[in-house]
Chain A
Amino acid sequence: MAERGRVSGKALPYLFLLPALLLELLVHVLPMLVGVGMSLLKLTQFFLRNWSAAPFAGLSNYTVALDFNGAVGGALLHSFAVTLAFTVLVVAGSWLLGFTAAFLVQGQRRGRGLLRTLFLVPYALPAYAAVITWSFLFQRDTGLVNGVLADLHLVGAGDRPFWLLGGNSFLAVLVVALWRTWPFAFLVLTSGMQAIPHDLYEAAALDGATMRQQVRRVMLPLLRPVNQVLLVVLFLWTFNDFNTPYVLFGAGAPAEADLLSVHIYQNSFLTWNFGLGSAMSVLLLVFLSLATGLYLRSRRVR
């Protein structure tokens, strides 16, 4: 077959990439741009059917969102702080749990498969089914958590704590998020550990390294690339987690557990102001991009 008249060899790879590029634009870039556009509009119920008729709001949505002395901006800042604390605790906790479990399971021969499967259950369960079960467990009068505490005589009949209201609600959403997230850390760290050749440990052991030293000097440095990716992914997932707080608390989360994604949802859907909600989303996007970018830069990963 003659080559002439066909796509030249140089263009061919790009042609193959084109569908992916178009999809990327369609799935990621376009909605982001639409969001940025929405954030500049006063997009309220009067214009829901015809967005193009919504008046241009300039940066007023951003001014409202960033006016931390006002009711809206103040609540956003509070929600941001809660989310940051939540994310740090969930990421650190998930990594620790995942690492410990992966480390303990890797030496094990018997029952390893079974344990791994068992550990992955929270990750494999549909989010809604898992979290709604937790919300039943956390009910004040009928929940299992208070039932167990009462049986152990840790709480009296009259002073059962609320888990889904007030300060404890932060603890509740933290526990559920940890429970849902750590299996992923376990999974990634397990495969990371398996990739490390056993000879390295043997060599270290011959040189007189203790188990502790083997972990610190051999395992952790070799897991570094895995950890970098894992921490970024866990950070982004947790910071953006919508399902866990939404299913646990419904649309109106208690102030102490007012995570950002539900907060933004509430600001757009419950008050019907999609422009303000979009402005908050864009701010979230900017923060996450900056945080991720800085982290990856500091780790010199490209």
Chain B
Amino acid sequence: MNKLGVALAAALLLSAGCTGQSGNGSSPTTLTYWASNQGSSLDNDRQVLQPELEEFTKQTGITVKLEVVPWPDLLNRILAAATSGQGPDVINIGNTWAASLQATGAFAPFDDSALNGLGGAQRFLAGSLAATGAAGQTRTSVPLYGLAYGLFYNKKLFREAGIGQPPTTWEELTADAKRLTHGDQWGLAVEGSSITENAHHAFILGQQYGSDLFDASGKPQFDTPQQVAAVRQYLEFMGTDKVVNPSNAEYGNGTQALHDLATGKAGMVLWQGNAETVLKANGMSPEDYGVAPMPFPQPTPADGKHINSLVAGINLAVFANSGNKDGAMRFVKFLTSAEEQRKLNKSFGTLPVVQDAYQDPAFQSPAIKSFQQVLAGSAAPLPQIAQESQFETTVGGAIKDLFAQIAGGKPVGDAEIRAALSAAQQKMATGG
């Protein structure tokens, strides 16, 4: 027997693999930074970040080793680093994972004095700062980039179809999408294989339909009638409305739906604000597309909330066993400074998370304003509880399977949706 159980081998290999590239030696003059993929490609991220890292080196004498980690790998890499105790010094995390990762104890806490060192809590946008860890516990991350969901539409296709205004209700969106759907062209594009996107939409629509994913004691309740209705709303675009290309069930790398919008294969996409960089890379300039807030159901369902985005964004965390915590904190201060917030968020098409960066005219454009308003007024943070990341993987995965069934021509109704969500809930119960 020379074959071991795969999960075990994978766990050991992953932890071993990370030892090789760990940067948390005790040298006070170097830092390792794992950045998430914000730009149109990993290379694009490197090009944006490298000059700023050099600027940091100039100011402090600390060299920063940069690695840009693609989204599909980021959570696993963080987990492996947490398990093995070998990892980078400073890291980017999706802010929806903040509480889950806080529970691992892998990150250094940001107490009040640490936050004061960054200019104090009042400098940060309240919504973004709320998504940095579970309530009542010392936060283990601070906001870096702010993001919100919106509706992106192709202006040319809208003109051709005679649609003057972007839709504000799901009914209008479906009607518009039907007018946009003909031949090779589709009304809406989704990433049906993306576990994260599916989970985000399940949450946002769930809020609109009055669903609470977890009860007061923190127990998952995914198969409520409200949540089933929310998921059905999302799946129907491909299922009964037929305004989404069934091929979208295969999409999942975070660029395919935007590619379809940019190339005129799809009229609309529901996406986070950072779509801009990918659209630009696909040859679509800002005047060719419009941005509007994500629609609402009409009439408002009972218990429905006026929510059309999650408080999305990227947080910065410092690894608890960093050998250069002092340098790491200085780096966090640098990245959250007004100057760097302006530069980085401008390049990535994201929103600054500190008030004092908004004076820049770059953040006065209609698109940015629209996202800013959503983030300030109608965005809800995903539940900041330890099981959040399991919610994303189980529910997002269930919706991925449902999309695959629809694409394969099988009918998916309330019964199928409820069964899939119940199974996801059962799997949650076996996890943390």
Using a CB–CB cutoff of 8 Å, the interface residues on chain A facing chain B are 28, 31-32, 34-35, 38, 44-46, 48-50, 64, 70-72, 75, 139-141, 162, 164-167, 236-237, 240, 242, 250-252, 254-255, 260-261, 264-265, 267-274, 276-278, 280-282, 284-285, 288-289, 292
Contact = CB atoms under 8 A, between A and B. Distances in A.
A274 B432 contact: no
Contact of B426 (A72, A140, A165, A267): A72
B250 A164 contact: yes
Contacts of A274: 7, 11
18 contacts: A32-B5, A45-B432, A48-B105, A50-B105, A71-B422, A140-B250, A164-B250, A166-B405, A236-B2, A237-B3, A240-B3, A240-B6, A255-B401, A264-B5, A265-B7, A265-B10, A268-B10, A276-B430
Contact of B7 (A45, A49, A281): A281
A292 B397 contact: no
A285 B1 CA distance: 9
Contact of B103 (A46, A242, A289): A46
Contacts of A273: 430-432
Contacts of A255: 401
Contacts of A75: 423
Interface stretch (B205-213, B307-315, B386-394): B386-394
A198 B428 CA distance: 63
B6 A72 contact: no
Contact of B430 (A164, A254, A265, A271): A271
Q: Which has the most chain A C-beta neighbours within 10 Å: B104, B320, B405, B422? A: B104
B82 interface: yes
Given A44-B432, A71-B423, A250 B408 contact: no
B250 A261 contact: no
A277 B12 CA distance: 13
A278 B8 contact: yes
B252 A31 contact: no
A71 B320 CA distance: 36
Contact of A268 (B11, B85, B100, B101): B11
Nearest to A260: B6
Contacts of B405: 166
Nearest to A169: B404
A162 B250 contact: yes
Contacts of B390: 270-272
B298 to A, nearest CB: 33
Nearest to B10: A265
Given A250-B72, A281-B4, A49 B427 contact: no
A254 B432 contact: no
B393 A270 contact: yes
B262 to A, nearest CB: 16
A45 B3 contact: no
Interface string B76-107: 10010011010000000000000011011110
Interface in B64-81: 72, 76, 79
Contacts of B427: 71-72, 271
A70 B430 CA distance: 11
A212 to B, nearest CB: 37
Nearest to A49: B105
